[in-house]
Chains A and B, each alone.
Chain A
Amino acid sequence: MDGSGKPVQDRDAALVAAYDGPPDYRVVGRHGVFPDMTHDEIERFNFLAHMNRHLAGRVMPAVKNAFETRVAPGQVFTDRHQVRRALVKDPYWQLWSALRRNTMEMRQQAGRWVTLRQQEELAARVAALTDGDPRLVLDPNLVLPRYVSSIDHHCMPGSYHTEYGPGDVANAANYDSGLFATTGGMLGRYSDGGGQAVARWVARNLPDFKPRRILDMGCGLGHNVLPIAQAFPDAEIVAVDVGAPMLRYGLARAKSLGVENVTFVQANVESLPHFADGRFDWVQTTMFLHETSYSSMQRIFKETHRLLAPGGIVLHVEQPQYSPAMPLFEQAMRDWDAFYNAEPFWTKMHEADLDAWMVQAGFTKESLIHGGVTAVVDKSVFPDAAEDSGEDYGRKAAWHVVGARKEGV
């Protein structure tokens, strides 16, 4: 009883029904190599998830008001960069941006604290699961592409590749444990809502597609490739990335989750001589191309075409491309992460004519594939992006699929 005369259960039910914030961090899945977290470390991520949702839902919408009432009047804009340069001078845009940048830095700080303080233990836990396993193929002599070495993407110090000790996985564990905060819980229990969305999209749109060998390019810690591996348990999956910490952690994480059909390979995906022509039935990239470069993208597309078997499919999942139909204000807002969250290529990648580049790489125009997906999560616990009418300009868990089927059988 709470003094109201009604049973307490009714009060609890009303609380739950009225609540529209992110779930508590403790719903995040703890696989075998997930970092240990104290009560306060968990609450730090809870706070940051709330900050991101607050900024997206309560603070950012007024940027549009500021633009319409005091930035745009009397101005003629012909491209998104002019809009952004005008927005930059607006005090409300400045306020929102400063809050958003700080929230990202705090998210990185929180995750680094968690993972650096247990850096050696994490390396040992991963080694226990991966030592001698042929499904971890590292190349200590790999030369980092400039698009990785030039800047720490999304303000993650050390990026995907820096090693803080032998067998290090700290930044992979940081990335993994903090995704919940960055996305406000939109990616689900194992932060794999994107991968699950791809698996569901393929099941619905290509029901006869039965790939035997699948290549995931720019896999990171493998969170988006595991749902694909689970959807095709008999397929042989190869996941490639330049970051050794990501790959070590990825294999250990996959094994602890009972996924045994993925091999993690350290390589630059622009050239994969490890694999023969026509080796794969499916090549996948999920939120990867925006962290590359024009020249590497063209090589990646060509390499993809070479690696696909006749009839094979390539799918690239990204936020929607800028097009004349997209308002310049929206384009400018979507560019925020490019200039203020250390994703410089984001702005360039999203103006590229991907269709033309796919054709240039050897795919026929008729074979091009276009679609749209939203994160697939356990809706009883996590927010569903498909039912979210809000807009988070580049961060919403709603993506475009651009792909092609290679000519042949």
Chain B
Amino acid sequence: MRAALDAALTEAAKIDKNVFVVVGDVSPIALANFTKEFSDRFINVGVAEANLVGMGAGLAMSGKVPFLFTIATFMVYRCYEQIRDDLCFQNLNVKIIGGGGGFIYSTLGATHHATEDYAVLRALPHMTVVAPADPFEAKKAVTALVQHHGPAYIRLGRSGDTNVYTQDYEFVLGKSVIMREGSDITIIGAGSILKNILCATDELKKKGVEVRVVNMHTIKPLDTNAIMRAVKDTGAILAVEEHQHVGGLGSAIAEVLVENGVMIPFLKLGVKDTFVHEYGSRDHLLEQVGLGVSHIVQAAEYLCARKR
């Protein structure tokens, strides 16, 4: 996704002379085009996340549109108060980009697993939270956020991510995308986990279960209409997220259901209140925490059975 980010930011900088990129000592190689073309609008503050955000706020106070970038866990947790007070409280036009969302850094241990970012960021007033499914969507998300005024977070995957989109579509912040149509159940997800959801959907189809897949790329503001349509059209919802099962996308969907008095078969799959003490590929970790393709299939079948 980093190549997509580089392309989107470079394009944005060509159009808007106020676009800056400020990084916390993450690989300039990932942003090779931007740094080559706009070296005067590229700042590396070093390993100093509080300063990254505070300085970003100051740039925005002077009319700049800074995109701040570092590894997701550092971007979100180390400087959460700066994000809250400097960016959100002042409603400044600063975008924060977290690289390696979820278990992307699968071999690096739990300090590098960004699995609480949706929860803590969606709690902040003014904040927009976006998790693109693939590089194609990441580029669209960055482009959309250049046009959007206010603080926003983008959770990125990593370079080498494969595209889950096979055709072009219109990306609108806060408006989810139906990626597969089906009437038995709706699976809602966001970010890189969409790939697993789509694999599970293919398997379920073989078993005769028709799944609607909703890509809720914007976790905040949440597309509540899409959720209520899923309730009406499919009568069961499975939320899947590469995130703690507390406070994230699944919780946000549950809030919508409860507040609308909806009682349908519903489950949220996520990390069960634990840190992962396991290494290996991201797929291996997803299997370990119950977010593998088979887990999604199983949960969907369980919900469909409850419908009957």
> Do A and B actually bind?
no
Mark B residues whose CB is within 8 Å of A.
none
